[in-house]
Structure 1
Amino acid sequence: MIKNPFLFLLGGIFSLMIAMGIGRFAYTPILPLMQDALHFTDAVAGYLASSNYAGYFVGAILAGVLPLKKHKTFYLRGSLVISIITTCMMGIFHSYILMLIIRFISGVASAFIFVLASSIVLDKLAISGKTNWAGYFYSGVGFGIFFSTLFIPSFNHLFKWEGVWVGLAIISVILTIFVWLWLKDSPNTVIKKDEQIKITNAPPIKWLPWLIIAYGLEGLGYIVTGTFIVSIADKTSLLSIDSAIIWIVVGLGAIPSCIIWSTLAKKWGFVKTLVFSMILQSIGIALPVFWLTQSSLVISALLFGATFMGITTLATTLARQMVPKNSSRIIGYLTAFYAAGQMIGPTIAGILLSYTQSFNSALIGAASVVFIGAMLLVSGIRYDRIPNIEASPIKSN
């Protein structure tokens, strides 16, 4: 059992704020500031983003392959320290080659934190019969995006874009202190022989490849908006507000999304809800192509925020229930395919942007990829006949 469930959960939320909200996604609102100061192209911006996602890909594979089961807390803490250092270094060095290396290492650390924190939190929640709390845990990404972006205009005004990175690293240090105190793995997280996981209504393991491929396509498509939406807002004359506000909207949409989608999944079934959320996201990605106004950018940001972490919550929870015995490994493999998509997406999008001088082709391509991923999952809806897929410990008699 968890000694203090609230503080344990808060530790998990803070870990995602550091790794994802700051370590990974702070690049998006800082990107226009860096482009204005350093004058690099959209293609270069895409390469920098892809470098981070390549690191995320490598980290996810390593987290799935390495025997981390007995030392999750140790590796988690080490990864948090690396994430903080690389965030700080982005504000110190101006060399493009060094930035590529720093973003790569940051991506490796982010993947380790995501996989290990997810494994520790989901396993303990399952043992404690609190799996419905998973949505609160994944809201950490939304909180990270929202709160970190609030600081960016002030940091930029006082210390320029370099100071934004350093300031966010200092915030990460403060959050890490609480993660260190509250988020710990322990032997009793391991599922004992007299406990079994209720997975009778989860899809069979033979369907897992469809989930993995679809999740990889989600990574390929969503990341185009995830990388460039603030740049789109920055480069349009239609926006009368600071373009960073668009990223704050993404964070606001992401905060409650995991809880909402988890609740819907219990009523509709996980696969059906996953298909619906991906279709909704594809609409949001394509929206600025057909309707480019201030309102459409805000709606697109809200739809993006409301779906991208919800999709992650649904996919990782579903995969864990299909293969419950080694959660860190299956989440690692799933995350690796997702990261592979992310690694390719920004590079293709950046090249398209530089070639066409328009975001339209990249957005249409990204929306199409996510929609195709949703269609691949349709075959699994039949496994949703029994509602309320939920992992909970059942004591054997």
Structure 2
Amino acid sequence: MGSYAYRSVIIASLSTLLALGLFRFAYSALLPLLIQAAWFSADTAVYLSVANLCGYLIGALAANPLNRRFSHKAIIIAAALLGSLSLFACAIAHLPIAWYVWWRLLAGITGALLMVLAPAWALRQVPVAAKNRASALVFAGIGLGVLLSAFLLPYMPLLGLKHTWLIIAACSLLLSTSIIVLFRGLPKPASTATLPTATVSANTATPASKPAYHSAIFIILAYGCFGMGYLPHALFWVDYLARELAWNLHAVDTQWLLYGLGAALGNGLGFVLVKQWGWMKANSLCFILYAAAIALPLCSQNASILALSSFVCGALVPVMVAMSSGCLLVLLGSDAHQRFWGYATAFFSVCQFGGGLIMSHVLSSSGQYAYLFMLGAALLFGGGLLSYRPYYLQKH
């Protein structure tokens, strides 16, 4: 990769770190402390998570229309700065609930804009031979953001919620500033002759072929199943450990740290699986593995079993995002990738938002986290079946 491609990949990685690592998952780590400190009731705290998911849906739907009016650079920088501002705003305690709803909504909108536009733009700058490695690097930012919140968790009671919010917001602003500096220092892009046009592997379908579009629909449907299925751990895991199992903060932090370590290391695993089995088969196998991992709390509440669940589920979050993006890139080529990745992110957001509402309602009405794990495992298993179809079409 040339200098332009490397910088583009770094910008996209920082964008995914902000989008999901800080604008989304940092709140999951804060959730039990917000309830204990009486900032919010349990139900209000969970529904604020849903407000963030709603914002993600809005941002995913708005990303491509906005990109037709404004440059990717302007949107990425604006989204990074506004998302950082939302974190600073959440540090102010004891305001009307509408204040926090608006800022969590904005965090979701800006996160989706970063997730749709930054990876697709960066991967267009990367030569064909480096796409697999570049995709792993782009989505590694998700895991690094989760890991940051995991390292902060044991210090949160000492720092207090206000200062914790401010530290996360300051980190976000620093990363946003880094994105601005990287954009300003971008050299001229490489010659278009070195950039990908239609294929990323020997078995890539022609972008205009009907089988490729048919297969892409199954990838998008499977990605929607992931959007609902990953929520029991992504949204409720820390709350489950702290409130349902009544674990102390050190034990909860250990589990969230394992989740963060998994998320930080996961894309390396994904890269190996893709090299071994190819995008389609690896994607389907990861769905089945995720379904098994998310169902582990139904089998045992032993700390080692839950640690395995934490690590594997954390590892597969960035892997599933990168796999879904990579499968669409393989099927459709670079020219159509951003448009279809936007469709996929929008559908993911619809399913995520609907799943957040459903799971929040199930939890508040039943108080049983087990129902969430059962639902998540079933959805991910369904996603595995859907994502197997493109692999089957490739072989036949």
TM-score, normalising length: structure 2: 0.89
What does residue 336 of structure 1 align with?
Answer: 346
**Cα displacement (A) at 1:16:** 2.0
Find the residue that maps to 1:91 and give its secondary structure.
Answer: coil
| Aligned equivalents of 2:252, 2:346: Cα separation in 1 | 31
What does residue 390 of structure 1 align with?
Answer: none
Find the residue that maps to 1:241 and give its secondary structure.
Answer: helix
Judge which range, 19-28 or 258-267, deviates more.
258-267
**Cα displacement (A) at 1:231:** 0.8
Inter-CA distance 45–221: structure 2 relative to 1 (3 Å threshold): farther
Find the residue that maps to 1:67 and give its secondary structure.
Answer: helix
| Aligned equivalents of 2:142, 2:112: Cα separation in 1 | 13
1:226 to 220, 234, 249: 234
**Cα displacement (A) at 1:183:** 4.4
Aligned letter for 1:325?
D
Do the aligned residues in 2 keep the contact of 1:48 with 1:99 (CA within 8 Å)?
Answer: yes
Do the aligned residues in 2 keep the contact of 1:224 with 1:346 (CA within 8 Å)?
Answer: no
Q: 1:67 and 2:60 equivalent?
A: no
Do the aligned residues in 1 keep the contact of 2:255 with 2:307 (CA within 8 Å)?
Answer: yes
| Aligned equivalents of 2:189, 2:7: Cα separation in 1 | 18
What does residue 215 of structure 1 align with?
Answer: 223
| Aligned equivalents of 2:188, 2:220: Cα separation in 1 | 29
Inter-CA distance 357–148: structure 2 relative to 1 (3 Å threshold): closer
Matches within 5 A, 1:320-335: 320-323=329-332, 324-335=334-345
| Aligned equivalents of 1:99, 1:36: Cα separation in 2 | 17
1:299 to 308, 319, 323: 308
What does residue 137 of structure 1 align with?
Answer: 138
What does residue 83 of structure 1 align with?
Answer: 83
**Cα displacement (A) at 1:132:** 1.9
Judge which range, 18-27 or 197-206, deviates more.
197-206
| Aligned equivalents of 2:194, 2:136: Cα separation in 1 | 27
Do the aligned residues in 2 keep the contact of 1:57 with 1:108 (CA within 8 Å)?
Answer: yes
What does residue 357 of structure 2 align with?
Answer: 347
Q: 1:101 and 2:102 equivalent?
A: yes
| Aligned equivalents of 1:36, 1:156: Cα separation in 2 | 10
1:121-156, Cα deviation, whole Å (9 max, x unpaired): 211123684542210221111111102331243244
What does residue 208 of structure 2 align with?
Answer: none
**Cα displacement (A) at 1:273:** 0.9
| Aligned equivalents of 2:355, 2:64: Cα separation in 1 | 23
What does residue 9 of structure 1 align with?
Answer: 9
**Cα displacement (A) at 1:5:** 5.4
| Aligned equivalents of 1:237, 1:188: Cα separation in 2 | 54
Q: 1:371 and 2:381 equivalent?
A: yes
| Aligned equivalents of 1:32, 1:18: Cα separation in 2 | 22
| Aligned equivalents of 2:8, 2:197: Cα separation in 1 | 23
Aligned letter for 1:349?
M
1:261-320, Cα deviation, whole Å (9 max, x unpaired): 132123212121111111111111111122112222211111111112101101011112
| Aligned equivalents of 1:193, 1:177: Cα separation in 2 | 30
Do the aligned residues in 2 keep the contact of 1:56 with 1:107 (CA within 8 Å)?
Answer: yes
**Cα displacement (A) at 1:10:** 3.3
Find the residue that maps to 2:230 and give its secondary structure.
Answer: helix
Query: How well do the aligned residues superpose, as a CA RMSD in angstroms?
Result: 2.6
Inter-CA distance 326–287: structure 2 relative to 1 (3 Å threshold): same
Higher RCO structure, 1 or 2 (CA under 8 Å, sep 6+): 1
What does residue 389 of structure 1 align with?
Answer: none
Aligned letter for 2:258?
V
| Aligned equivalents of 2:251, 2:7: Cα separation in 1 | 35
Structure 2: any 5+ residue segments left out of the alignment? 206-211
Matches within 5 A, 1:251-262: 251-262=260-271
Find the residue that maps to 1:74 and give its secondary structure.
Answer: helix
Structure 1: any 5+ residue segments left out of the alignment? 387-397
| Aligned equivalents of 1:347, 1:377: Cα separation in 2 | 25
| Aligned equivalents of 1:266, 1:46: Cα separation in 2 | 39
Aligned letter for 1:292?
Q
Q: Percent identity?
A: 23
| Aligned equivalents of 1:254, 1:331: Cα separation in 2 | 21
1:156-201, Cα deviation, whole Å (9 max, x unpaired): 412x112211110011112222221224778847956996432552
Find the residue that maps to 1:243 and give its secondary structure.
Answer: helix
Inter-CA distance 27–211: structure 2 relative to 1 (3 Å threshold): same
1:247 to 226, 231, 256: 256
What does residue 118 of structure 2 align with?
Answer: 117
Do the aligned residues in 2 keep the contact of 1:252 with 1:305 (CA within 8 Å)?
Answer: yes
Aligned pairs, number: 385
